[in-house]
Amino acid sequence: MLDNIQKQLLKEVVDLYKMPKGAYNIRANGEKAARNTTENIDIVTKEDKPGIDIIIKDGTKNESVHIPVVLSESGLKETVYNDFYIGEDCDVVIVAGCGISNCGTHDSEHDGVHRFFVGKNSKIRYVEKHYGEGDGSGKRILNPVTEVYQKENSYVDMEMVQIKGVDSTHRITKAELGEGATMIVHERLMTHGEQKATSVYEVELNGEGSSTDVISRSVAKDSSEQIFEAAIIGNTVCNGHAECDAIIMDNAHVVAVPKLDARNVDAALIHEAAIGKIAGEQLIKLMSLGLTEKEAEEQIIGGFLR
């Protein structure tokens, strides 16, 4: 059974108020708290290491899998390996996410290693939210590793969100795309206090006509630090676009390192990076509508991270 803190964390990371429909696996404080499988989606506990295999049958459509993790015990550190085997011609939504509540003095850490094997013509929407809370001196640490292997004409849309409360993150996302495959990434990040967040993407466009769009929008407040690295490697006729757009505030530090690596004359790769403070004209416009400066700032950040 989940306690109230864990239920609150679930609400924050996967918008769940009660058990979801469809397949799910809820992990709380390092143990399985609940699981449901369906006719098309099986979830199996790994035997050699912590984690699960999620197996989705060919032709599974309009189904979802929720695999949230919550940590409410101070000092808990875990690395979990989750593998997704997605068949051909699927259309599914996968919702992951981790919430940590640390009121103690020890660091809590969850490192999720997710691997996606996406079959031909399948479409996946993957949403991963990170959330931290608790007033203890122990840090809340999340280091996710995501690997994506896409077969022909598959489509992966990833949404990675970390808005509050995580002290340290080092995110690594790697993808290899086959012929006609598409990968879209939307990352939204807000750091404050002394938080540090690093996000590294490496997308290899191997198949003809493959494409990717990696978009990061972030806000760095107080003395926080963000590092964004996006590398796109074009090995064939392909399209790649990476964009990092950051608002810097207070004494924050933001680094954007785009890297394009074209190994074929028909690889079309673009990167854009912009870092800057909130434009004065934006504040003035919203203040002229009757908002205070603080309200205007909140609206601008809220819209930017939407």
Partner 1 sequence: MLELKDLTYQVEENNETLTIIDHLDLTIDDGKFIVITGPNGGGKSTLAKLIMGVKELTSGQMIFDGEDITECSITDRARKGISFAFQQPVHFKGIKVLDLLRLATGENISVAAACEYLSKVGLCAKEYIDREVNSSLSGGELKRIEIATVLARGTKFSIFDEPEAGIDIWSFQNLIQVFENIRKTVKGTVLIISHQERILNIADEIIVIEDGKVKKHGPKDEILPELLGTADAVNRACSKMS
The residue among 257 and 274 lying less far from partner 1, judged by its C-beta, is: 274
Question: Taking the complex as a whole, how short is the minimal distance between the CB of residue 96 and partner 1, in angstroms?
Answer: 24
Q: Rounded to whole angstroms, how far apart are CA atoms 46 and 63?
A: 23
Footprint of partner 1 on 166-225 (CB under 8 A):
217
Among residues 18, 39, 135, 306, the one that binds partner 1 under rule CB under 8 A? 306
User: Which region, left, alpha or beta, applies to residue 301 given φ > 0 means left and ψ of -120 to 50 means alpha?
Assistant: alpha
> Shortest distance, CB of residue 294 to partner 1, whole angstroms?
10
Question: What DSSP designation does 19 have?
Answer: P
Per the listing, tokens 């990371």 go with 13
Least CB distance to partner 1 at residue 2 (A): 34
Residue 302 binding partner 1, by CB under 8 A: yes
Residues 6+ apart with CB under 8 A from 101: 5, 6, 8, 9, 70, 71, 72, 132, 133, 134
* Rounded Cα gap, residues 102 and 239, in angstroms: 43
Q: Which of 53, 159, 245, 261 binds partner 1 (CB under 8 A)?
A: 245
- Is residue 118 left, alpha or beta, with left meaning phi > 0 and alpha meaning psi from -120 to 50? beta
Alpha-helical segments (H) within 120-214: none
Among 141, 214, 219, 300, binds partner 1 (CB under 8 A): 300
> Which CB, 39 or 281, lies closer to partner 1?
281
> Pattern of binders to partner 1 over 260-299, x per CB under 8 A?
-------------------x-xx-xxxxxxxxxx-----x
Residue among 200 and 215 whose Cβ is closer to partner 1: 215
Q: Binders of partner 1: how many residues, by CB under 8 A?
A: 22
Binding pattern to partner 1, positions 215-234, x when CB under 8 A? --x-----------------
Q: Which of 85, 117, 149, 304 binds partner 1 (CB under 8 A)?
A: 304
- Least separation in angstroms between CB 84 and partner 1: 30
The DSSP secondary-structure symbol of 119 reads: P
Cβ proximity to partner 1: between 260 and 305 the closer is 305
Q: Which H or E element spans position 203?
A: strand 196-205
Smaller CB distance to partner 1: residue 92 or 160? Answer: 160
Tally Cβ neighbours within 10 Å of residue 303: 9
Measured torsion, CA atoms of residues 161, 26, 111, 199, in degrees rounded to the nearest 10:
-10
Tell me which residues touch partner 1 (CB under 8 A): 217, 245, 279, 281-282, 284-293, 299-300, 302-306
